[in-house]
Amino acid sequence: MDEIRFRIAEAARMAGVSPSTLRLWETQELIRPIRTPSGQRLYDHDLVERLKTIAWLRSEKGLNPAAIRETLPEEGVAEEEDVESGPSGEPAEDGGEMPIGLKVRHLRRQAGKTLEAVAQATEVSISQLSTFERTSQGLSFTALHAVATCLGTTIASLGGREKRNARESLIREGKWPSWPTTASGVTIQTLAEGNNMMECHRFQLAPGASSEGAYQHEGEEFIHVLAGSLAIILDGDQFFDLHAGDSFYFESRRPHSWRNSFDGETVLIWINTPATF
């Protein structure tokens, strides 16, 4: 079957930019469209995904064309080759917090695992993993949990700043440190910093935001709904609707999934113990 290819107007619409922007990116050597004998530009699915990534890097990260070229693999180069052969072998840090995708790459390399091995263990595609390692985007909450477990860590450890031996933690209202945003519509903020037995977080869920699947781990969980409503499914067949003011406890080893069932933003306090989230 011939692969579907899109004309420039269609590809631009799918990437959320204008056709003139795609022509500009071509002159900046960010993309190489497929050319017909008559010179018409065409874009396949892989190239459209590249367009979306470039658009995100420009709008959300503010990267210039040179920085984008450094971040993305060359077109036609296999994902695994790109990730495994960075110019310095390990992600460089600029003195700030390492992006969560680079943390995953670093841990994977430390564990001696290939992209293919992690993909097979987590049922996440190689292309998704490779994109996430480069951009910190593209994994659902459930997929990120599976990857973290495969690499012997937790989402909390990947998403939060490493602070050890904090005997007390005070965070003023509205000053909660936020995790990197990796899942659409899910904002997670830290309510207590430190390497503690309890992981205390504030969740802000946009309408329709969800875990995108079930996950499980050791420990216990407590949820208190501050605003909106949350639908929780345990063991695949037990349904609970939580509304503002409701509290809920369950054992983390039970497969659980969730979604914002409110037509506006839902805000939760979510506590996990021990630190296995």
Q: Quote the pLDDT of residue 232.
A: 96
- Shared-domain flag, residues 190 and 268: yes
Helical pair 45-59 and 8-15, crossing angle rounded to 10 deg: 50
- Shared-domain flag, residues 101 and 62: no
Q: Is residue 250 a contact partner of residue 256, using CB atoms and an 8 Å limit?
A: yes
Q: Quote the pLDDT of residue 90.
A: 42
Domain extent, residue 133, equals 92-138
- Ranges of the chain whose pLDDT falls below 70: 1-3, 73-97, 160-166, 182-184
Task: Let me know if residue 86 belongs to a domain.
Answer: no
Residue 258 belongs to domain with CATH number? 2.60.120.10
- Shared-domain flag, residues 263 and 194: yes
Task: Let me know if residue 28 belongs to a domain.
Answer: yes
- Report the length, in residues, of the chain: 277
In one letter, which amino acid is 97?
E
Q: Distance (Å, rounded) from C-alpha 274 to C-alpha 277?
A: 8
Q: Quote the pLDDT of residue 94.
A: 40
Task: Let me know if residue 125 belongs to a domain.
Answer: yes
Write down the residue that tokens 């506590």 correspond to: 271
- Shared-domain flag, residues 198 and 229: yes
Task: Let me know if residue 172 belongs to a domain.
Answer: no
Residue 64 belongs to domain with CATH number? 1.10.1660.10
Q: Is residue 149 a contact partner of residue 217, using CB atoms and an 8 Å limit?
A: yes
Task: Let me know if residue 10 belongs to a domain.
Answer: yes
This prediction has a pTM of 0.58
Task: Let me know if residue 76 belongs to a domain.
Answer: no
Single residue among 114, 138, 162 that ends a domain in this structure = 138
Task: Let me know if residue 19 belongs to a domain.
Answer: yes
- Shared-domain flag, residues 262 and 232: yes
- Shared-domain flag, residues 194 and 257: yes
Task: Let me know if residue 60 belongs to a domain.
Answer: yes
> What are the b/e assignments for 97-131, b being 16+ CB within 10 Å?
ebbbbbbbbebbbeeebebeebbeebebebebbbb
Q: Quote the pLDDT of residue 81.
A: 39
How many structural domains are present in the chain? 3
- Shared-domain flag, residues 39 and 106: no
Q: Is residue 266 a contact partner of residue 260, using CB atoms and an 8 Å limit?
A: yes
